[in-house]
Amino acid sequence: MNIIMKVLYELKKREPIFHRPEFGTTRKDFENMTVEDYWEIGASGQRYDRDFFHSVLHFNIVALKKI
């Protein structure tokens, strides 16, 4: 298997990366999975920075634990 196929395989295992508890559920885990200048574009077209993204993930994890 060439390097591109290996990378593709690893990415597919993690997709969607932040919805797989085996890769971590704490804010620190999320920080370790993203670079400091991480950002993403939401469905609305809004740009979200790393801190906002981690806050939302952490809030969702805490909320799910209460269910």
Q: What is the pLDDT of residues 18-58, one digit of tens each?
A: 667 777 888 898 889 889 999 988 889 999 999 998 888 88
Which pLDDT does position 15 carry in this prediction?
A: 67
pTM: 0.59
* CA 5 vs CA 1, 12, 18, 58: distances in Å: 6, 10, 22, 32
pLDDT tier for residue 7 given thresholds of 50, 70 and 90: confident
- How many residues in the chain? 67
